[in-house]
Amino acid sequence: MRKAFRIVGTVLSIGAITLLLDAIVTATLLPGVINTDRDAAEAGNLRAYIHADHHHDIFPGHDMTRVWGRIIYPWKSDKHGFRTGTCGPGEAEKAWPAIFVIGDSFVEAIGSSYEQSFVGLMACDAARQNKAVWNLGVSSYSPIIYWRKVEAAADKIGRKPSEIYVFLDLSDIEDEANIYREGPDGKVLFKSKPEPSRENWDRDPKQWLVRHFTTARLLYDTYISASFTWDRSLGHDRGRWPFDQKLLESWGWRGLELAGANLDKLVGLCREWECRVTLVVYPWPDNVVAKDRDSLQVRHWRDWSAARGVRFVDAFAPFFKEPADATMRRYYIKGDVHFTPAGNRLIYETVRQAVDGKW
């Protein structure tokens, strides 16, 4: 027994000494060698979001870098907590007709500069027509939040929109069915997870280890490099539900019903404000590979839009003009489902053509 304790004690001592030496080397010898750009971008990820009455939102007044997988990209928010950049509206543009664009991480443009995002491209085009495009998109939003965020945004800028563009993501359907619920006070809550708070976002033990121990950094960098492969772009239930009967029966139909009810509230707001709603749907890599061109996501929302006088844009179609492998590699980030600059431009050009270039 004593021998076992001695062995354990020796192992623990060696481990402690190794970690101590690792921490000393990391703090004293490597700061000038290690590329800290990723550290700054990881810190940016932690500072990006705050709690809000409609659940969560973008932290206002930040100008920093963020990281998504292997991509480090610039990220800026205005004083209202909207993502912005070149052509993003400011105080002077509040006098222009306001166009709200609402959606999730695709609209916020995760992994992309504002200028290369489809909302940024819309903003520059609309600015030439003296119209202001406000980016209301935030990662992990869905329709239960959309109409609340639109209402809050109108209050913030003191102006009601002339048009609202809703970019309805495939993941919104699971979010409506399984992730969010409305609390007794009308606020949006998670169904089963702790609510977001400043502490939730600030505390990241993984990044603390990476910053303080070279071994942890090497392991993490190896993981990032190995993780973002093309097969990781596929196999996501959140994108497969339109053609997977089990998923559709489990939560897909329920999610569609809940999403429709919440989008009805957004349409109701727009009628009250005498504005127009445009609904856009687009595919994930799973849909492209499965040849889900005539997707339930397209058919359902086309019919829904027609019944309510909502303008509908099918942005699935252009992603099926090339072979699936070529489409994935050109339009999607490797190992992810979000768009490359080419994918963002394709969405922008598809919507622009659908509205005849008149925002």
Taking only the tens place, the pLDDT of each residue in 67-101 is: 998 899 999 999 999 999 999 999 999 999 999 99
Higher pLDDT, 48 or 18: 48
> In the chain, pLDDT over 90 holds for what percent of residues?
75
Q: Lowest-pLDDT range, 93-102, 143-152, 226-235, 258-267? A: 226-235
Q: Can you tell me the mean pLDDT for 92-121?
A: 98
**Which domains are seen in the chain, by residue range?**
35-195+229-354 (3.40.50.1110)
- 219 vs 193 pLDDT, higher one: 193
Averaged pLDDT score across all residues of the chain: 89
Question: Above 90 in pLDDT, residue 198?
Answer: no
Is the pLDDT at 119 greater than 90? The verdict is: yes
pTM of the full structure: 0.87
Q: Over 50: is that where the pLDDT of 201 sits?
A: no
Query: Between 213 and 164, whose confidence is greater?
Result: 164
Rounded distance, CA 359 to CA 356, Å? 8
Q: What is the mean pLDDT of residues 30-36?
A: 56
Q: Which residues of 36-66 are buried (b: 16+ CB within 10 A; e: fewer)?
A: eebeebbbbbbbbbeebebbbbbeeebebbb
